[in-house]
Amino acid sequence: MTDETLQRYRESIDNIDAALVFMLAERFKITQAVGRHKAVSGLPAADPRREERQIARLRALASDANLDPDFTEKFLRFIIEEVIRHHQGMQG
């Protein structure tokens, strides 16, 4: 038995998930370029103040979008951890 309402919801979730994946792929392309650029330009790899600004901004955007700011901060930290792992992989 297929529930048609559930099926429609799931199609929307699948569309959004595809968009999230491609968006993330683009984000990692840019952070890899940042990593290369910092290495070539002798800029420090980490920038804690930038990270704090990103988190504050995303928490505010999350509130506007009715999304839990704490979850959003966890989400950004989850992605940033992966970026750091990539950068370590580039160095290793």
- Point out which residues bind a copy of itself (CB under 8 A): 3, 5-6, 9-10, 12-14, 16-31, 33-34, 37-38, 41, 43, 50, 54, 57-58, 61-62, 65-67, 71-72, 75-76, 78, 82
Q: Closer to a copy of itself by CB, 9 or 52: give it.
A: 9
Separation of alpha carbons 25 and 39, rounded Å = 21
- Both tokens assigned to 2: 């297929």
Separation of alpha carbons 21 and 31, rounded Å = 15
How many C-beta atoms surround the C-beta of residue 26 within 10 A?
Answer: 10
Q: How far is the CB of 88 from a copy of itself (least distance, A)?
A: 14
Q: How far is the CB of 91 from a copy of itself (least distance, A)?
A: 17
Task: Assess contact for 76 and 58: CB atoms under 8 A.
Answer: yes
Q: How far is the CB of 87 from a copy of itself (least distance, A)?
A: 14
